[in-house]
Every structure is written in structure tokens, then in C-alpha cells.
A and B are shown apart, each in its own frame.
Chain A
Amino acid sequence: MAHELPYIAAVDEAIRLEMERDETVLYFGQNMATTENEPYVDAFGKDRVRVTPISETAEIGIAIGAALAGYRPVVELYMAEFMLVAMDQVINEAPRFRAMSGGQVKVPLVLKAGYGFTAGWAGQHTGTISSLFMGVPGLKVVVPSTAADAKGLMATAIRDDNPVVYLHNYLLTLEHGEVPDGEYLVPFGEAAVRREGGDVTIVATGWTVDRALEAATRLAADGIEAEVIDPRTLAPLDTQTILESVERTGHLVVVDQATRHASAASVIAAEVAEHGFSSLKAPIVLVTALDATMPYSEPLEQFVLPSEDKIVAAVRQVLGTAPVTA
């Protein structure tokens, strides 16, 4: 059985279920649990649910300590950029302790943060900075695009014995979707094929998955069948599903809300270039945000972002049905 929920409520449902299931799960962050009648405080008490000051370094560092000591903290960070003030803890502390201790400790924690709020939030609250984390051995990176995955990937993240950066896309916050009832787990490292097609492979994550699906619908009207693959987790990355698709289609377009250089899209393109080169009938094309600080003004923001039009044009380019542009 399933029920309909907004994407963000599906994340919440997973956290609640996991906290009910496992009393070592902690949930804390800024501007939460400030009154006695807040649902989380009411259900789980102030030992496990706490408000923190605006202290990201301490919040994430404390999560590491609690994880070392046997708990499973979920840190509510609100916006991915807020992790940037605590990057040492995210990149050079949490993922290092297991290795540096020779396997004596594990650091099971979830850093929950929204990203990609390209809705007029301008230069510092709109970033898609997921690729910063995907290159860090020891970290896992999760980027759900549907309400069901939002729930299932959060549950898996909480049960995982490693630090997980859980990135929910702010543009999807109120997108409704069918969500399975009760316990629901989506495994890490298994891409979802959102649409099957034999002419071109489009890889997209987060908010761009729906853009890719809409582009595919438009292309289908012209007889072009696109396969749309959503990796769902960037680390681990399911390159196998992408390579198998490219083997059949011979063409690849990678879409990313991030700026181009050192993006997840560029990593995926590199993997396919190395391991799937013989399948490719044309160069890979990336459809990313333009390399700019995200502007505030709406037409400028739209100009910078990837879009259905840009995806359609990229597909025509790789298929040779449109003039090749530099």
C-alpha cells in the first residue's frame, strides 16, 4: 500500500519511522525542538531531539562524537551551503575516522541538507554542491528525486554505518508522489531507469530528472526515444546501469543542476568515456548550469540553469539531428 505525500514530508516520515524503530537515532539542529509540544520532542524526548545554536562545526562534530559512541545522529542542516562553514568536519573528519582507526570505529551519521533552491535565492543559497562530497572516500552522497526515494533513501541513510550526505532538492519540496507505507528502504548504488528508450541515454539527478522526462516526451513526438536514468546516489555511483544503457543507445547526455566543471555530470561523463568509449557513436554532451554565481533576477537565473529546451537541443546534437555547436 502507498499514500501520497509531498517530497519533504516523505523525508520526515522516514526519520520518524527510524526513530521509532531504533532508539539510538538522534535528530538535532537549528530552530527545531524549541517547544515542548513539537512532535519530535513529544514523541522522542529532549535527550534525542535537540535544538542547537548556529554552530555547524560543533553540530557536525558533535554528531561525529555521538556516532563514535554508538548513536546514529541525523543533523538538520537546512541548506547544503551551511555545511561549507564546517567543511573540515564533513570532509576531513567524519569520513576519516574509520580508516585512521584501522577499522576500530564507525561513524554512522546523516547530514540532511537542502540544495539547489534556484527560486530567487540568489548567489549563496542555491548551489548544487553535491560533487564536493562525492569525491571523498568514506562519504556517501544521496540525491533523491521522488517522494518515494526521499523516504526510502533516508531510511537507508540512517541505517548505513557510514557518514551520509543526504541532499534533498529544495525545488522538489512540495512535489507530491506516491510513497510506500511503513518500512521502505531504497538501496544505495542502484540507479532507477525512469523511462526506457533505445536512441539516447539521459542521466539526470534531483530536480533535473523531471526536466529530462519532459524533454523525452517532446523528443518522442519526433520519434526519438530517450532512456532517462536517475542514479539516486552519487556515492556509491551505479555506473553499470549507465554503461549498459549507453551500450544500447550509443549516445549520452548528462544533465546536472550544478555548474559544469568538477560536477557530478563531468564525473559520469569521464566514467563512460573510459569504460564505454567503444559504445559511443558521438561525443558526450553535458547540460549543466552555466559557470556563474547564481543570479537573483529571474530571467538571468533561467538563462544559467539547465532546462527542457537545453536538454532537447543536446539530444538533437548528439544524435546529429541538429547543427553541432561548440
Chain B
Amino acid sequence: MSTAGERGELSRERLVWMYEQMLRIREFEERVKRTFEEQPGVMRGHTHLADGAEASIVGSIATLGPSDQFLTTYRCHGYPLVRGTDPKAMMAEIYGRRDGLCKGIGGSMHLTDVATGFMGTSGIVAAGIPHATGVAWAAQIRKQGQVVLCFFGDGASKQGAFFESLNIASLWKLPIVFVMENNGYNVHTRTEQEDANRANGEDLSVKAKAFSMPGVTIDGRDPIAVYETVGAAVDRARADDGPTLVESQMYRLSAHGNIIAPPGVPLHFPEHEAIEKFGAPEEYEAAKRGDPVPAFRGRLVGDGTLSAEEADRVAESVRREMQEAVSFALDSPFPEVETALEYVYA
């Protein structure tokens, strides 16, 4: 397979790498999901999975240069894995252990890895959009050609923080790309129930028009399409031509999140909301058939980029890596309780 965007062709090695990264996200999160379901209480609070978003995450992060930066939402496991953060430290964080990426204080929703340019996550919908905008302002002042990727969901695009930030980003021509991952649902509400553009049959990227910036909608299940579109937007930002809004369409293949709630509390959907709430299993099954991870494998194997045996070897190696991450997390002790007070103030 070859692709000839403005950023040049993706090499065979790069395409295989992209597949491997998609698989790493899936296998990492499968272990998170299984622990949540099979060993309640081991992981605490709330965890949000990115299954269905892997292609979009990999295609986006793959466009970044070494000194570029990014900020995400609480659905944040995928990006750092692709960027090179150690899955052991990530898993230990989700287990609340001492060797966790954020020393067990952040947890699943607040992964941060400044060393790789992952500047932080907000658990509040849309609250991270102005943060990313501020990081982009800093990049503009510093004048070292850095670009910032800002990830958020379709639900965030109805928050004031979204409108305020995109207005300023366009006004100031900041080096930032706004990647809206539209997975069709805002928590348990369908996009057409809460978005005026969608309700009127328009793509959500039309919102960009309000800020006089380019807006484009793409199939977020295709990592190459994402890579080319986000890549073009990154190039544009780096050339000081300002921000772009990319709507990356996908389907979330798990429920909104795993919530440990007492029986009877109507928060925890073990199955996707399409099944549990809207009685539309056919919608979910169709989305499942479009699962980007096996789809990309099929594509690479189909056009001879990767043999089935090589693909199996990649999968086996990824599974081993993620199993080691779980073992590492289980072996890591809990933090000393006093560390709860250690990072309140700098």
C-alpha cells in the first residue's frame, strides 16, 4: 500500500508501525476493561475506553514532530501509548500504584507525560480546549515551530470553552489543530439529540465557519485518511497559517465508561448505549463490523503490505507487552499515603 499526500508516502515500516500502535491501544484497554469487569474494585472510579478511536488516535499522533505537544480528554489511554510513554507506568497509574505515571494521584482520567509533550488532561468536558490553546500561545511566543494537537469529543463542541477557545485561536493564528472525535454519543445522548448542525443533517465541522478557520470531516476509522488530513492541518499550523478544526467520525465500541455504582444506580451500562438504552443492537453490530483495528489489518494483509503471519507475530508481541504491563502494575506497591499531600503546591 502506498499513500501520496503532501507529506509524502507512508513507508511500509510506518504502516506496520501504525497497525502495531492501534493494536497496542486495543490490547492495553482490553486489559483495563477486563479488570474492571472481572475484578471489581481493583481499578477505582471511572475509566473511559477508546475502542473504535484507535485509527484516529494513531493517525493524529503520527503527524507530530519530536517537540510538538498535545492535550486530551479523560479518554486518554491511547495517545501516550503511541507517543512512546511506557505502558507499565500507565497501567500502574490506573492501578493506583507507586510506579504509576502520575504516582497514583491522577488515575485513568488524568494521564500526563510532559517528557513526551503530553501536557495534561482535564476530566471536565471541553475544559482542556483552552489549556491546549494556551500551550499553543506559548509555542507561538517561543517561535520554535512547535504545533499543538487538541483532542476533544463531539459533546465538548457545545461548551462555551470550545467557542471561546476556537475564536481566540483563530484570532491569534495559533499553531494548533483541534481534533474533534465524534463517536456519535455524548455520554448517553446521541449527537443528533444535542447538536443543531447534526440535527439538520450537517457535519459538525461546519462549526469552524463561525471562527473563520477551515473545518473538515473525515472517516476517523481510516488511519491513513486521518494522518493525511491532520498532517495537512499540522503543516498549515506550523507555517503560521492558523488553526484547523478536524471532525474525525468514528463509533465508540464500548459504553461511555465503567462506573462502579451500587446495584440500581442507573449509571453503569455494561453494553453500549445503542443496545442498553436505545434498543438499536443493529446499529452497534454494524459499527462492530467497521471496527478499525481488524479493518486495517485486513487492508494491510490484503494489499500485501503485511503477511498474515507477520500480523500474528505483531499481535502476539503486543499482547505480551501489555500482559507485562499488568504484571508490573500488580507488583508495584501502593504509594506512601503521605504523598497525597506532596504535590498540592509547587
Contacts and interface: CB of A to CB of B under 8 A. Distances in A.
Interface residues of B, number: 46
B114 A63 contact: no
A206 interface: no
A71 B141 CA distance: 10
Contacts of B124: 88, 92-93
Nearest to A106: B346
Interface string A85-122: 00011001100011111111111100000000000000
Nearest to A140: B345
A260 interface: no
A292 interface: no
Contacts of B134: 61-69, 73
Contacts of A65: 71, 119, 130-138
B101 interface: yes
A69 B69 contact: yes
A70 B120 contact: no
Contact of B120 (A26, A68, A162): A68
B195 interface: no
Interface residues of A, number: 43
B105 interface: yes
Contact of A70 (B136, B138, B171, B172): B138
B252 interface: no
Contact of B130 (A58, A106, A162): A58
Contacts of B122: 93
A101 B114 contact: yes
Nearest to B102: A102
A60 interface: yes
Interface stretch (B161-169, B219-227, B301-309): B161-169
A140 B131 CA distance: 20
A103 B133 CA distance: 22
Interface of A: 26, 47-48, 50, 52-53, 55, 57-58, 60-71, 73, 88-89, 92-93, 97-108, 137-138, 140, 161-162
Given A55-B168, A68-B119, A102-B104, 19 more contacts: A55-B167, A58-B161, A61-B129, A61-B130, A61-B133, A61-B134, A65-B71, A68-B120, A68-B135, A69-B69, A100-B102, A100-B105, A100-B110, A102-B102, A102-B343, A103-B342, A103-B346, A105-B112, A107-B346
